[in-house]
Amino acid sequence: MRKNIVAGNWKMNKNLTESQALITEIRGIVRDENTNKAEIIICPTYLALASASKLLDGSTVKLGAQNCHFEDNGAFTGELSASMLKSVGVSHVIVGHSERRQYFNETNEMLAKKASAAINQGLTVLFCVGETQSERESGDHFNVIKNQISEGLFHLTPKDMELIVIAYEPVWAIGTGLTASSDQAEEVHAYIRSLISEKFGETIADHTSILYGGSVKPDNAVELFSRTNIDGGLIGGAALKARDFFDIIKAIK
Ligand code: 13P
């Protein structure tokens, strides 16, 4: 069966010293209290990845990056490739976060190439999709999600799909305190699973973890994670506090 996963996306937060302190704290709580019900991933900034990898040596907590380039190397000032991430011990990478789509003009076409580049290095991709508020209000959200999924992932092989985790993050729920209701999230998660099933078959769809992201907190996580098609969360703000992050992990039953 598919895995339950709780991943923390730290975004552009925490300098190196602060990152090391938070990683050490999370590592300690997970060691002392781990429930083993979910795979736990943290995604600090690029700056902290190499030292995070050392700090997490021997821990069950996995390390993710927040982005990667689709080429292996070359004249791409300021960028990092999937193979470089792998070389410092990264096992997961977020691709297609709405902030990258919105502020860095990342298109579905680029994201498809990033997903392939990461998979070619054996990295697991946390592939983000989600509609804006106006797209939801105009009833266009299913179409938006369908385009993001089909243009971003449908070039992959069934084997590649073993390294894909999908995160549904409605843009209107990110950092706003406005969580999607569990009915709204479940409806979209079920739809995403049906799209995967149509393209890759029921077994692959059933094995693909689909996470919810957008203002997940300890007090709404239990309800969200109780739903059939919600296999965990991609957590922003609440992942920056070790106790809140772990309380969200504990919401996986
Ligand atoms: P918040 O949990 O802060 O709303 O952020 C969600 C997110 O964007 C995770 O990638």
Give pLDDT tens digits for 195-248: 999 999 999 999 999 999 999 999 999 999 999 999 999 999 999 999 999 999
| Right CATH for 5-250 from 3.20.20.70, 1.10.3080.10, 3.40.50.10800, 3.40.50.150 | 3.20.20.70
Q: Which amino acid residue places its CA nearest to atom 2 of ligand 1?
A: 236
pLDDT surpassing 90 at residue 178: no
Distance of CA 6 to the CA centre of its chain: 8
Report how far apart the first and last C-alpha atoms of the chain are (Å, whole number): 15
pLDDT surpassing 80 at residue 34: no
**Annotated catalytic, 92?**
no
| Minimum-distance ligand 1 atom for the alpha carbon of 215 | 4
* Whether residue 215 has its Cβ less than 6 Å from ligand 1: yes
Average pLDDT for 36-48: 96
Residue of 92, 97, 141, 189 with catalytic role: 97
Average pLDDT for 88-117: 98
Nearest to 61 by CA among 245, 253, 252, 251: 245
pLDDT surpassing 90 at residue 116: yes
pLDDT digits 0-9 by tens, 50-85: 999 999 999 999 999 999 999 999 999 999 999 999
Question: Any bridge partners for residue 233, and if so which?
Answer: 6, 212
Beta strand residue intervals within the chain, DSSP E: 5-9, 39-43, 62-65, 92-95, 124-129, 164-168, 210-213, 232-235
Decide if 168 contacts 193 (C-beta within 8 A): no
Question: Any bridge partners for residue 6, and if so which?
Answer: 40, 233
Separation between Cα atoms, residue 74 and residue 72, nearest integer Å:
7
Separation between Cα atoms, residue 157 and residue 116, nearest integer Å:
10
**Annotated catalytic, 169?**
yes
pLDDT surpassing 90 at residue 177: no
Q: For the chain, give every domain's residue range.
A: 5-250
- Percent of the chain at pLDDT > 70 equals 100
Question: Which has the higher per-residue pLDDT, 112 or 177?
Answer: 112
* Whether residue 55 has its Cβ less than 6 Å from ligand 1: no
Rounded (5°) CA angle 20-23-25: 110
Quick one: pLDDT band at residue 35, thresholds 50, 70, 90?
Answer: confident
Task: Give the chain's mean pLDDT.
Answer: 97
Span from the CA of 9 to the centroid of ligand 1 (angstroms)? 7
Residues in the chain, total: 253
pLDDT digits 0-9 by tens, 125-164: 999 999 999 999 999 999 999 999 999 999 999 999 999 9
Q: What predicted TM-score, i.e. pTM, was given to this entire model?
A: 0.97
Which pLDDT value is given to residue 237? 97
* Whether residue 185 has its Cβ less than 6 Å from ligand 1: no
Quick one: pLDDT band at residue 4, thresholds 50, 70, 90?
Answer: very high
Q: Which amino acid residue places its CA nearest to atom 7 of ligand 1?
A: 236
Q: Which amino acid residue places its CA nearest to atom 9 of ligand 1?
A: 236
